[in-house]
Structure 1
Amino acid sequence: MSNMTRTTTESSITIHELRKSYAKTRKGEQPYAVDGVSFEVPRGQFVTLLGPSGCGKTTTLRCIAGLEQPDDGQIIMAGQTVFDGARSIQIRPEDRPIAMVPQSYGIWPHMTVLDNAAFPLRHGRNRKGQQNIKQRTLEMLEQVGLSAYADRWATQLSGGQQQRLALARALLSEPEVLLLDEPLSNLDAKLRAKLRLELRAFQEQFGVTSVYVTHDQAEALALSDIVVVMNQGRIEQIDRPERLYQQPKSAFVADFIGSANLIPAREVTSVSGGVLAKTDVGTFLCAGEGQETTTTALGGNVCVRPENVEIDAATYSRNGLSDRNEMSGRVIGAEFLGDRLELVIDLAGTKLTASAPAALTARPGDDVVVRVNPTHARYLAS
C-alpha cells in the first residue's frame, strides 16, 4: 500500500457552487438541500462536514460519491471532472476514484472476513491485473488488527471490528478519496472515542484523502485537519478545529461548536485594538484577530466561552467596577463536576454560564464579580 502515500498539498477534490434540491414547494419554489456549496479538500487531508441534522452534509457527501445527481455546480476529483451541471457531465459512482464507508458499514453477512475485505481486489474497478490477492488482503487485515479473524463470518465480529473491516475493504481499493458517512454513530460512547483515534491513525498511516460526515462536534474537532460547518444547506465557516472554536465567524458556529455565551450587542464601535460593544449587561472590549470594524454597527453578539469567564466571589464595591469587561452579578445555579464548578450567573436579567475552579466557594444567592479578558471576548456580527 505504499503507493497510496501522499506528499503534495494540491487538492484531491474541488466543489464549486454545488446545488441539490429534492422537491418544490406548493408555491413552486425550489428549496435546496445543498445551496451553493464550494470548498476544496487538500490531498492527504482529513476534512469533516459538520452540522445538525438536515443541514446538507450527507447530501453533499452523496453527491461527491455519485449516489445523488446535483442540480448544478461542479465536482472535480483527482484532476477529473466527475460532475458538471453546465456540461451535463455525471460520472458513475463505480468510475470515480473513491471508496465509501457507510453508516451501516455495508458488511456482507454471507462472506468471511477475508472475502469481505478482498472484494474490491476481485470485483472492483481496479480488479484487472490484481495478483497475490489473499496475501495482500491478509496484510491489510493484519494492519487493522483482524488477521486472526480472517476465516470467520463477518457477522461474528463486534461493532468495532466491523468498522475496521469496512475500513480495510475501502483501503484495499486504493482510493484517491475515502468517504465516511457517520461510521461511528452506531457505537457506544466509549468505543467511539477509542475508534476515532484508530481511524485517524489509519488515515495518517495510508495518507488517503478523507471526507467525513458527522453531527458530533467532539469527533470533528478530534479527527479533522479542516472542518466545514454547514447550516441549512450552506457553509457557515471552513477552518482548522482550533480556529473554529477560538475564532467563530458567526453566532451559529459559536453556539454549535462547544458552549458559548452569546450576549446581544446594542451598539458596536471600532476602537484602537478591537471593537467596543455595548450590551444590556455592560460594555465589552473585544480585542484580537478578526475583530476590526471601521464603522459603528447595530446588533450582533458578544461571544464568551464559559471557561474564559473569571469569577471573583470576594467582597467588592459596586462603584469600583471597571467600565469595560467587568460587571456584577448573582449566582442562580451551581453544579459541582469534580474538576470544575459550573455556574449560572444572572447579569441584569441575562444568564451567563461560567466554568470556575472547583475550589471556588460561590453558591446560589451569592453576589460575584464577572470579568472577561478582552482577548477572550469576540464580537460576532451575525
Structure 2
Amino acid sequence: MSMDTVNSIVITELRKSYDRVAGSETTYAVDGVSFDVPKGQFVTLLGPSGCGKTTTLRCVAGLERATGGRIEMGGQVVFDVPQKRFVRPEDRPIAMVPQSYGIWPHMTVLDNAAFPMRHGRNRRRGQDIRKRAMDMLDQVGLAAMADRWATQLSGGQQQRLAFARALLGDPEVLLLDEPLSNLDAKLRAKLRQELRSFQEQFGVTALYVTHDQAEALALSDTVVVMNQGHVEQIDRPEQLYDHPRSAFVADFIGNANLIPVQDVSARREGGVIAKTGVGTVLCLRSSVEEDHRTGSGGFVCVRPENVEVRTTSQQETPMLEDDEFIGTVETSEFLGDRLELVVRAADIPITISARAGLGCRPGEDVVVRFDPTTTSYLAS
C-alpha cells in the first residue's frame, strides 16, 4: 500500500472467542483477521452466515470486546490487547445503521434525524439543529414527512431516515450491518444505488456487512470475503469475480463450474495444464505461483458464461480441438435472454449460459469448450 494512502480503519490480527463449555477447545468467531479501510472508500465484509463478518463489525463499533488484536481509527488506537486499551462505542468516530434501522417509534421523523446532534458525540445547539436536519431530510427525500411519526414510514423510507440520522452525527466511519436485508428485491436494488450515491456525495468512509454477493459487487470499492472466521480474499469486485484465489471464493461469488483436478503441470509460456475427469484443460489463470504449478489436487474453475457450446450432427463424430469435450445435455431452461444448460461430460455436470437461440434439447450431444484465457486453476 502506498505511504500516501490514508486509512480510516486499520484492523490487525483481530480475534474474538466466546465462552466455551468446560473441557472443549476454544473456538474463534473471528480468527486473525487483518484489513484496512482507506479514507472515503466503501469496503464490504462478505460471507455466509456464521463467517464472522458481523462480529468483526461489532468489534470495530466497540459493541463487542475482541479477544486479541488491534483496531485503529483515524490514526488513533481504539482497541489494543497488549496496551489494555478499549475506547467506548460512544467515544469512537462512528455511526452505525443496524439491520432493523433502530428508528425511535415515539419520535417524529425530524426528531429521529436530529437525535445525534442533540445527544451524540458532536452535539450542537439552537436553531442550527432543525435547519441542518431539514437540509439532510431534503437530500434523502423525506423533508415533506418531517412531522410524521417514524412508524408511518415505509421500509425504504425508514432506511433513508436511518442513513440520514447516521450522517448527521458527523462520523468519520459509517458502519452498516445488512441494512437492506429486510426489503424486497426490487426496492433493495434501488436503495443500494442511493446508498452508494449518498456515501460518495458526503465522502464518508463506509464498512458494510452483507451475505448478498450481488449487493457487495455493486456497492463496493473493495470486498473482504470471509469464511469460518478467516479472510479468504481481499480485492476489487472485478478481481474477485474474474480471479478468485480459492474454490470457496469462486463458488460463493456468482456461479462457477469447479472440476476436480487429478494432476497438474506447468506450461512454459505460462498457465497450467490440468488433467481432469473431462480431459486435459489448459488454464491461463492460476491462484498459485509459477514455481509451484505441479502436483495434484485443486480445481479447474470456469464461469458458466465463459463456457462455449455447439451442437453436433448425429451422422458424424465431431472433430475436437484443444480444450473441447463431448457432453450430453441433461437440462435446458429458456430464461429469455439466455439458455441455461446443464451438460454432463464424463459424469461431471457443467453449467453453461448459452445464447437463447441455440436450441439444445435434453439428451442431445454437444461439444463443450473451455477458453483458456477465462479458465483458472485453483489450488486445493
1:277 to 270, 274, 277: 274
1:381 corresponds to: 379
Contact 1:331 1:345 in 2 (8 A): yes
Whichever residue aligns with residue 319 of structure 2, its letter is G
2:306 corresponds to: 308
1:286 corresponds to: 283
Aligned mates of 1:260, 1:98 — CA distance in 2: 37
2:102 corresponds to: 106
What whole-Å deviation, never above 9, does each CA across 1:258-279 have from its counterpart, x for those lacking one? Answer: 0000000011111122111110
2:123 corresponds to: 127
1:61-80 paired onto structure 2 within 5 Å: 61-80=57-76
TM-score (norm: length of structure 2): 0.96
2:244 corresponds to: 248
Q: 1:126 to 1:225 in 2, by over 3 A?
A: same
Q: 1:133 to 1:267 in 2, by over 3 A?
A: same
1:357 corresponds to: 355
Q: 1:83 to 1:364 in 2, by over 3 A?
A: same
2:212 to 207, 213, 216: 216
2:325 corresponds to: 327
1:173 corresponds to: 169
2:342 corresponds to: 344
1:368 to 357, 366, 369: 366
Offset at residue 372 of structure 1 (A): 1.1
1:5 corresponds to: none
Aligned mates of 1:363, 1:226 — CA distance in 2: 41
> Secondary structure of 1:105's match?
coil
Offset at residue 292 of structure 1 (A): 4.7
> Secondary structure of 2:102's match?
coil
> Secondary structure of 1:338's match?
coil
Is structure 2 residue 91 aligned with structure 1 residue 95?
Answer: yes
> Secondary structure of 1:294's match?
helix
1:198 corresponds to: 194
Contact 2:340 2:351 in 1 (8 A): yes
Aligned mates of 1:237, 1:363 — CA distance in 2: 39
- The gaps in structure 2 that reach 5 residues or longer are none
Contact 2:285 2:377 in 1 (8 A): no
Contact 2:244 2:287 in 1 (8 A): no
Aligned mates of 1:374, 1:65 — CA distance in 2: 45
TM-score (norm: length of structure 1): 0.95
What whole-Å deviation, never above 9, does each CA across 1:310-347 have from its counterpart, x for those lacking one? Answer: 0010328657313x311111101111111100001110
Aligned mates of 2:285, 2:65 — CA distance in 1: 43
1:265 corresponds to: 261
Offset at residue 361 of structure 1 (A): 1.4
Contact 1:51 1:230 in 2 (8 A): yes
Aligned mates of 2:240, 2:361 — CA distance in 1: 32
What whole-Å deviation, never above 9, does each CA across 1:188-217 have from its counterpart, x for those lacking one? Answer: 111101100000000010010000000000
Contact 1:275 1:291 in 2 (8 A): no
Offset at residue 377 of structure 1 (A): 0.6
> Secondary structure of 1:174's match?
coil
1:139 corresponds to: 135
Contact 2:285 2:373 in 1 (8 A): yes
What value does the CA root-mean-square deviation take over the aligned residues? Answer: 1.4
Offset at residue 293 of structure 1 (A): 2.5
Offset at residue 29 of structure 1 (A): 1.2
Offset at residue 290 of structure 1 (A): 5.2
Whichever residue aligns with residue 107 of structure 1, its letter is I
What whole-Å deviation, never above 9, does each CA across 1:130-187 have from its counterpart, x for those lacking one? Answer: 7611101100000000000011110111000000000000000010000000000111
Whichever residue aligns with residue 186 of structure 2, its letter is K
Aligned mates of 1:130, 1:202 — CA distance in 2: 26
1:29 to 10, 20, 25: 25
Offset at residue 22 of structure 1 (A): 1.1
Aligned mates of 1:227, 1:359 — CA distance in 2: 36
2:47 corresponds to: 51
Offset at residue 86 of structure 1 (A): 1.2
Aligned mates of 2:124, 2:239 — CA distance in 1: 45
Is structure 2 residue 56 aligned with structure 1 residue 60?
Answer: yes
Contact 2:287 2:378 in 1 (8 A): no
Whichever residue aligns with residue 69 of structure 2, its letter is G
Q: 1:117 to 1:128 in 2, by over 3 A?
A: closer
> Secondary structure of 1:58's match?
helix
What whole-Å deviation, never above 9, does each CA across 1:9-42 have from its counterpart, x for those lacking one? Answer: 4110000000001132553311000000000000
